[in-house]
Structure formats: C-alpha cells, structure tokens
Structure 1
Amino acid sequence: MHSAQFVICGAGIIGLTIARELLASGADSIIIFDKEEAVGKHASGRNSGVLHAGIYYDPGTLKARMCLEGNRLMQSYCESRQLPLFNSGKVIVTRSEEELDTLDELQQRATQNGGVVEMIDQKRLAEIEPNATTVQRALHSPLTAVVDPKTILQSLQRDLEASGKVQFFFNTPFEQADENKILTTQDAIGYEYFINAAGAYSDTIAKAFGVGKNYRLLPFKGIYHVLKKPAAKKIQGSIYPVPNIRNPFLGIHFTRNVHGDVYVGPTAIPAFGRENYGILKGIDREFFSILLRDIEMLLENEKFRNIAAEEPRKYLFKHFFNDARKLVKYLAPHDLLPSPKVGIRPQLINTKSKELVMDFVVQGRANTLHILNSISPAFTSSMSFARMVVKEHIGL
C-alpha cells in the first residue's frame, strides 16, 4: 500500500496549488491521484484563461476575498517562470438602459473588494476597445489578464515533482473511503490527511466520507466559437456583458487569448453528465439522476428556470450569434467558426433550499477536507485559496 502525509484527490488547479502550499508549509510527503492520464483534463484545462479582478463577487465572500490576491499571485508566478501572460484588460458593456444600475453595482462591488475599475463613456470605450458597443457607459478593468491554463498546470506539476516530495498517480480513479486510506482501482493509498479536490466529482467523494449531504453538483456546458482572423483583429482584449448578478454565470463574451485567438462564449447550458462535452458524449448512468435534479430545480427555482429556458437555445447558431452581436459594432455570422473547445462547469446546488450556491464551499471532517463548488474564479483564486486552506483549515 502506498502512503503519504497528505493525499490529494484531483490533479486540477486546486489540487496542485494546495500541494504547492503544503510544501511551502513543511509537508514531508504528498500523493496526488487522478482518474485521468494527465493534469487538468477537465475544468482547469478547459477554461478561458481569464484572470478575473474581483468585480462580480459579493463583498465578504471567499470569492471576493481570494480573487484579487489570486490574480496577483498567478501573474507573478507566470512572470517568474516566463509563462504566457497577456495583460489584456476587460470592458463590461451594457446592452440596454436597464442594465446601468447593475453596472453601478459592479463598480461598487469591485471597489469594496479592493479592485481597480473605471466607469468610462462611449468615447473612452472606443479608445480602449474600438469594436465594443455600450449604452451610455461601460466599466473598464485594467487588472484583468489572460494566461494559458495548460502551461501553468504543467509548470506546477514540474515544480512539485522536482521537490522530490510529491508523487503523481494517474489513471487512478477513487473507489471508496476506508479508515485512513483510500481504495482506488489500482491500489490502496494511506494518508494522515486527505484532501478532496476532485472538481466535478467532489460531491460524490465528499459523501463517501459523510460530508456535504445537502449538496449536489449540476453540470453546465460551455460551448465556444472562435473568430476568423480578420474579425479577431477588431478585438483588443476582453469584452463582457453586464451579467445577471443573481446567477453565477457571466454570459457569452469575447476573449483574446495569449496566442492571439479570439474565443466567443461560453454558454451555460444544463448538461446531462459531468463530462457531457458533446451532444451525447459523456452521458452515462447518472443521466437520470441529473435529469431528476434538473426537473426539481425547474419546479423550485426561478433563476434555474430562466437559465434552462434561455441557454439551450444557444446550441442553435442563430441565438448564439445574436447574444454575441449585442456586444460589438461589427460582427457577421461568417465571422464565427465552430470550436472544439468545450467546458463543463460543475455548479453546486443546495438540495434543501433548491438554490444555486454562489461561493466556494470548504467542509472538513476528522482528518479530511473537501473543496466543493470550485468554479470561476477558482483558477484565478487558486494560489490565494490554497494559502487559506492550508493555514485556516489544515492549520500549517
């Protein structure tokens, strides 16, 4: 049986940054195991790469507390390792006068969270992002940046392995919990302390330890298109809409990545599997239980009903294009090309209140810790979040 002082389930950004922080705090041995063959095969390696700047989140929440510091730490890490980093900035534009009050609310939240934002008029918007359009005014976030998530994940893996204290076990799915050991399809793994950072499967693993009984994850699918090169040249950085701040989704937006490609998306379509990246691909034996949870949320939660009514239409190009078209002055249907880029957002719901959970959730029991709802801005926040976890929950 393999064993280590700390055993982490999940080789995504949360698992890797927690391991990194554990090493910095004096950990002697760490095992990270994952059911996939490499790091970051799901949400961590499939996100847009945007480092957010603390704008959207209720002051006092973990997201608000971690986002800005996480942005700074991640940028510093990229600079120290000479990893791709694009200080793109971001504008948030309005599509109607009714969204102006929410734009003001976003400015207030950003300021309370310690962010740097500027309310700008249409003339200033045209200087920053010439193709963006807005009603009266927009919000500019100069601290928003873009990175390459996969290069960061691979760099973190190299750092951890170079320490001589971290082992990676890939192709090793979790099967069940036993006393101070994990049973996997490969072998048993003993631990002094176990950390569940399994992303889309974190709720099922938590339940194996009797944790998070009132939580379930619902998957939402994010599909993208990519702009043809002539149209892509008209996008300087990132253009976002004013979101519905009662929901955890930011809406279809434009993002220029570190390689110069401009992606449009993602959607937030209710999915029928934790890895339902295609139409049918990734639908498994959980289909009926996920469908049942969707039906329950449709009946009980108005916000979910609105999402379920609006988002699936964006599978149709016409509706996807119409959403994107509202953010810019010039965009033609032929400018948008299909993209294989697809992500799954594992959104936590409270099964008692039938509400979408808006913040990160950390729950512990005995010598185990469970990271639930590690959704955006989890990648941005990860290095700050890892510090908090190790200091406040593990006590190192």
Structure 2
Amino acid sequence: METAEIVVVGAGIIGLTLARELVARGARVLVLEKEGAPGRHASGRNSGVLHAGIYYAPGSARARSCLAGNRLMRAYCRERGLPLEESGKVIVTKCHEELPRLHALFERAQSAGASVSLVDESELREIEPHARTVGRAIHSPLTAVVDPKAVLAGLRDDLRQSRRAEIRFNVRVHGPSGPGSLDTSAGRLAYGAMANASGAHADRLAHAFGKGLRYMLVPFKGLYRKLRPQAAHLVRGSVYPVPDPATPFLGVHFTRSVYGEVYLGPTAIPALGRENYGLLKGLDAEAPSILWRDAMLFASSPVFRRVALSEPRKYLFKHFFADAARLVDALDPADVLPSPKAGIRPQLVDVEQNAMVMDFVTETGPAELHVLNAISPAFTASMAMAPGLADSVLGLSGSAGA
C-alpha cells in the first residue's frame, strides 16, 4: 500500500491553496482530484469576483478571512501577471424601503474593516453611469475581478515547481479503508494526515469518517446570462442589489469579467444534485433524498421557503430580466443573451436545527481535517484561510514535524 505524508482531497481553490501553504512549510503533499483538471466545479464556475468583506456576520470565519483573502489574491495575481480588474462594486437599492437595509449593511461592512463609502445618486453616476438606485448606494473600491481558472492554473504550476507536491487527477476517494488509510479508485493509500477539501462532496466524505453528521448538502443552482457586446457599456465594474440579510445569497447582479464580458446572475435555485448544472444533467440516485431535505426545509424554514418560492421563477426569462432591469437604466430584453455558465453552491443545512449553515465549518478526526460549507466567499478567502487550515493539518497525529 502506497503511503503519503499529507493527502489533500480536492483540487479546487481550498485544496490547492492549502497544499501550497503546506508545501511552503516543508511538507510533502499528494492532492487527489476526481476530475481531469483543477476546479471543474464551484471553484472554476464562479463569477471571479473578489469580495471585500461587506456581507458577513461580525466574528464569523467568513468575515475574518474575506478582506485578507481579497488582498492576498490581488497581490498573487499582480505577482504572477494573472488577469485582474480592480474595478470596484456598487450596491444599489430598488426602493426607499431598502434604505434601512443598505445602511445596516454599510455599518456591518465598516465594523469588519471594509473600505466602503455611501454615495448619493449623482456620485453613483460618476462611478457607474447607468446604475440605478434610490437615495443612496454603497461603493466598494476594493472589490475586484479575476479569472478563476487562471488562478487555479497558477496554483497548479506553483505546486509542480515546488517538487514537494503531486496532483493526481481522475482519482476518486470513496472513504476510509482503515485507520490512516483511504479507499480510492486507484487503490488503497495510507497517510500521515488527510485534508478533505472536496467541496460539494465534502459532507459525504466527512460522514464516511463519522464526522459532520449534523450537516447535509442542499445544493443551489446558479444560472447566468450575459449582455450582448453592444450593451456591455452599461456596466463598468459590478452592480449588486441590496441582499436579503436572512439568506446567504446576494441576488442577481452584473459583473464585468476580466475579458470585458458582462454576466448577469447567478440565481439560487434549489437543485437536485451535487452537479445538477442543467435541467436534468447531473441527477443521480441521491435526487430523492435531496428533494426530501428540500421538503423538510420548506416546511420548517421561512428563509428556505422564501428562496424556494421566488428563485425557480428565474428559469423564465421575464422574471430573470425583471430582477436585472431594476439595477441599471436602459436595459432592453434584447440585450440579455443566454449563457452556458452555471454553478452549484455547496450549501449545507444543519439537520438538527433545520437551518442553512451561514459560515465555514471545519471538523477534525484523529488524522483528518474536514473543510465543510466552503460557500462564497471561499474563493476570495482561500489564501487567508490556508494558514489556519495548514496549522490544523500539521497538528494532526502523524504529521507533526512535517
């Protein structure tokens, strides 16, 4: 049986940044990935926005790591010459009733140390000439945009060049095969320490180790559309609505990519599979159990019920467009085109409380770390999270002194 010092399961943004941190500390790392390339799921399918610490509950792991991660990721892109647009973001209101929510969000952002300002309608026109607001808007100059796939490719190259890490693609991890060993599609593998960073599959692997049993995945599908090139001038950077503070979703918004394309989305439609990107694509034998979880949440959680009743309508163009048109002036239905871009948010639910989990979660075993609920802003926060995760991995039995 092959033996590895440290095994990281998953070559998404959390797995690769953790592996990079471990290698920098002198460890030898083997990364196992079930796909044929890094970040085939959430890490490579997001909008590329580097968030700037605005939305998250004070004291939460998301709040602690977001702004620091933004700075680290921007510095990494500059250093590596990777695509980076420091174009900023505005958060706008659709009606006067949203102004108290906007001010509360502004105060939360300030308490988290975010660089934000309140602007009036004329100041907003200077920043985003076509953005529409009522009374006030928030301006976030530190919000930036990257190419997620370019960042993942850069991290992969870093690991290759270190000569202390190996990434093996097309290898599935099924679960433990005994203490300190994994059952994989390539055979059994012993390890000194293992980090589970498998994204939408992290709860499954954790459950196989008897960890995270109170958490179950309830996936949400993020669908995007895009502006036709002739309408791309309507957005300079990113234009977001004021989010509903009771949900973990930010609402349909506009983002100009590093390549000049403007995307609209994502939705937050309850999905029936961990990789259910299309209407039926990605459905498997787990669909009935996910549907049952959705039904339980619908019955018990007003927040989930509100999302479940409002978001599926956005499969229909008229509802998607209506949301988007409230954010900018002069948007015409002909300006909005289909896009194949889609992602799954690996949202966990606490089944003991029948509530969506609003923060990152980690659990440890004798020689295992499980990174759970790596939802937004996990991509932004990843480089700031990596040192703490590496501390946990190196503190596990069998990896001391790595």
**TM-score range for the pair, normalised by the shorter chain length:** over 0.9
Describe how 1:191-270 pairs up with structure 2 within 5 A: 191-270=191-270
Paired position in structure 1 for 2:312: 312
Partner of 2:26: 26
The residue aligned with 2:127 is 128
What is the Cα deviation at residue 331 of structure 1?
Answer: 0.3
CA distance in 2, matches of 1:65, 1:288: 36
What residue in structure 1 maps to residue 34 of structure 2? 35
Cα shift at 1:356: 0.5
Deviation at 1:346, TM superposition (A): 0.8
Q: How does 1:135-150 map to 2 (within 5 A)?
A: 135-150=134-149
8 Å CA contact retained: 2:369, 2:392 = no
Residue 370 of structure 2 corresponds to: 370
Larger deviation, residues 53-62 vs 163-172: 163-172
Q: CA deviation at 1:26?
A: 2.0
- The answer to whether the 8 A contact 2:30-2:165 is kept is yes
- Could you tell me whether the CA contact under 8 Å between 2:53 and 2:112 is conserved in 1? yes
> Structure 1 residue 2: deviation in Å?
2.7
Matches within 5 A, 1:1-396: 1-27=1-27, 29-178=28-177, 179-391=179-391, 394-395=394-395
Give 1:265 deviation, angstroms.
Answer: 0.3
Contact 2:222 2:343 survives alignment (8 Å): yes
Give the direction of change, closer, same or farther, for the CA distance of 1:300–1:394 in structure 2 (3 Å limit). farther
2:368–2:393 CA contact under 8 A, matched in 1:
no
Contact 2:92 2:239 in 1 (8 A): yes
Q: Partners of 1:231 and 1:218 in 2: how far apart?
A: 35
CA contact (8 A) 2:14 2:382 kept: yes
106-115 vs 331-340, which moves further = 106-115
Deviation at 1:119? Answer: 0.2
Question: What are the superposed Cα offsets for residues 130-183 of structure 1, whole Å, 9 maximum, x if unpaired?
Answer: 110001010000000000000010110011011111111111111120221111
Q: What amino acid sits opposite 1:183 in the alignment?
A: D
Q: Distance in 1 between the 2:229 and 2:169 partners?
A: 38
Q: Partner letter of residue 116 of structure 1?
A: S
| 1:302-338 deviation per Cα after TM superposition (whole angstroms, max 9, x unaligned) | 1000000000000000000000001011101000000
Unaligned runs of 5+ in 1: none
Specify the SS of the correspondent of 2:381: helix
| Maintained 8 Å contact 2:193/2:393 | no
Contact 2:215-2:348 at 8 Å conserved across structures: yes
Give distance in 1, aligned partners of 2:317 and 2:305.
Answer: 22
- How many angstroms apart in 2 are the aligned matches of 1:390 and 1:188? 24
In structure 2, C-alpha distance between the alignment counterparts of 1:166 and 1:393, rounded to whole Å: 15
Give me the TM-score of the superposition, normalised by structure 2: 0.97
Post-superposition CA distance 1:333-369 (Å, at most 9, x none): 0000000000000101000100000000011111100
Question: Is this contact kept in 1: 2:234–2:328, CA < 8 A?
Answer: no
Q: Do 2:214 and 2:352's aligned partners in 1 also have CA atoms closer than 8 Å? A: yes
Write the distance in 2 (CA, Å) between the matches of 1:105 and 1:391. Answer: 35
Which amino acid in structure 1 is aligned with residue 280 of structure 2? Answer: L
TM-score by length of 1: 0.98
- Aligned identity (percent) is 54
SS in structure 2 of the partner of residue 222 of structure 1:
strand
What is the total number of aligned residue pairs between the two structures? 395
CA displacement at 1:93 relative to structure 2: 0.1
Report deviation, 1:392: 5.1
For residue 318 of structure 2, give the secondary structure of its aligned residue in structure 1.
Answer: helix
Please give the alpha-carbon distance, in whole angstroms, between the structure 1 residues aligned to 2:134 and 2:96: 6
Call closer, same or farther: CA 1:158–1:393 in 2, change over 3 Å.
Answer: closer
Task: Tell me the CA shift for residue 3 of structure 1.
Answer: 2.1
Counterpart contact for 2:195–2:393, Cα < 8 Å: no
Q: Which whole-Å CA distance do the structure 1 matches of 2:77 and 2:267 have between them?
A: 28
